[in-house]
Every structure is written in structure tokens, then in C-alpha cells.
Amino acid sequence: MQRSHIIFWRIFMKIIFKTLITAVSLSFLSSVLYANDTKNIEIMEIGDNKIHTFYGISNSHIIETPSKLILIDMQFNFKLATKLNEYIKTLKKPLSKIILSHSHPDHWFGYPIFKDVPIITTSGIVADLNHKGAFYIKRLQKKMAAIIPKKPVEPLTTLKLGKQNWGGLDVIVEEYTEQEAHHSILIKIPQHKVMIGQDLFYNNMHLVASQRSRNNNWIKILQSFQKNEAKLYDKILTGHGKNTDTSVFADNITYLQKLEQILASGANKEETKEQLIKAFPDRGGKGFINITVGNLFVDKNKK
């Protein structure tokens, strides 16, 4: 009886040991796979808060306060949005709201993944969505039907402009018109010298430009940042390309001024593409040039 009891416990302990080894191995494998899957995450600590940047085709930023999360932009498709949402769940805090920075589809096509989370923006951005949201879906439906929504996002127009407090974090929300988009928001965190500008800023990427009048207005906005905000802020979070510093203001001005110089020379659509690539050969996002010339050469001489 005693011997059978000892044999039983030896067998039992072997089973437990094998189970633990398997569990640890699976856990390690899972963590490795997860780490590889989230290599496009960058984390910035700002006091008691953090900003997590998810680099996709466009960038999403997660503001983490001690009590909650706020997401800025929802990615270009369901696959990217799912990866973003999986990462958000690892932070173990409630996602209180999502802010849409502007109406371009690479920032909101992923919205169905974030069920039951309020999406907010400004009335100007909602007007832009009402104007072209359905068009973006129709244009990309053939190639991306399985991973994009069937109808445009419908945000609430409850995003307030000006000074406010998000879970203990003081922010300033501003809106700019007629630049990369018709309406775009900018979030400033003055205490920590952070500006979250999304597509107002591109780092080492070709810009998505538009009509020449809008491009010139975009230059004026960037010049104002260069003159004023550059004295107060040093961390610039972008919509495309890695987060950077205030040198992005001058960089984007240079790009837009070069584009205007090319157009003023009388270059046609193909010549404009060629000259932009020649002038900025090392930038990413060469496909963005197709969007730019598509915007410009509907009526390239309209200013």
C-alpha cells in the first residue's frame, strides 16, 4: 500500500512538471510572437502618463493616463486596427474615447474593430466625412472589401477645442483648416512639450499635398509653428513616419515649397512625380505622390 502510494505521487509529480514546462514554454513563445507583432510600438513617458505610438500605414497614438486610455485615430483597415486593439487590451485600462484627427480613410477605416467606444471629432471633420467618406469606401471597395467598412464612420461632434483636462493631463486642442486635409486637429500637451499633429506633419516621407492654395496655407501654418511653437515644444508626434522634433516644420516647408516650384515651372503630372522623387530620393511613401498629383492635376492651374 505504501509502495503504490509512492508510485502514484511520482507519476503525479511528473505530469505536473511536464504541464508546467509546457505552460512556461507556451507562455515564452506567446511573448516572443507578441513582441515581434508589436515591434511597431513606441512608448514615450511623460510624467505619470505615457503615449504609445502604433506605427502602421498611418500612425495611431494612445494617451495613457493613470486611470484611462484615449486613442487618436483607428488605422487604415481591420487587420491593422485589430493589432492596435490587441495592444490596447494589454494596457489593462479602459479605452474611454477615440478622437478622429481628420477625414482621410487611413485614419478611420478600422473603426468597426472598436465597438462600444465613443468616437468624437469636430463638426468640420464630420462635414468632410459627409462629403467624401462614402467616396473613399467606394474607391477602395474592390481591392479591400473584406477589410474596410461598408459605411463611413459617424463620430459625435463633441470634441471641444481649447484647454481641457483628460484624466489629470492638461491638453490644448486646436483645429486647422485647408492644409493636408480641409480640417485637422492638433493636440498640445504644454507641460511635457508634446504636439500630436497627425497629418499636419510627415517625417521623412513624401507628403500628401493638394490644391496649390491649400499647400500654400499649409506652409503658412508650418511657418507659424516654426516661429512660435518651436520655442515651447520639442516632441512632435506625426501622422506618417516616426515621431520626431521641431525640425519637421522646416522639412515639410521645404517639401511643399519644392512642389510649388515644380508646378510653377509648368511641369505636367508625370514630370511632377519624377521631379519629386529626384528631389527627395530617400523618403518613404512614394505611393503618396500618386495621391498628390491626382489632387493637383484635376485642375492643376487652379490656385
Q: Decide: 124 and 155 in contact? Cβ < 8 Å.
A: no
pLDDT reading at 198 higher than 90:
yes
DSSP secondary structure letter of residue 160: P
The CATH number given to 178-303 is 3.60.15.10
pLDDT, tens digit, for every residue of 253-264? 999 999 999 999
Q: What percent of the chain has pLDDT over 70?
A: 86
For residue 232 the three cell numbers come to: 515651447
Cβ atoms 63, 69 nearer than 8 A: yes
- pLDDT (tens digit, 9 = 90+) per residue, 109-127? 999 999 999 999 999 999 9
Q: What is the DSSP letter of 161?
A: P
Q: Map residue 63 onto helix, strand or coil.
A: strand
Q: In whole angstroms, give the CA distance from residue 124 to residue 103.
A: 9
* pLDDT tier at 38, thresholds 50, 70, 90: low
- Asked whether this chain's domains 40-160 and 178-303 adopt the same fold, the reply is yes
Q: Is 42 left (phi over 0), alpha (psi -120 to 50) or beta?
A: beta
- pLDDT of res. 7: 41
- Give the CATH number of domain 40-160: 3.60.15.10
What is the rounded CA–CA span in Å between residue 89 and residue 38? 13
Indicate the domain borders of the chain.
40-160, 178-303
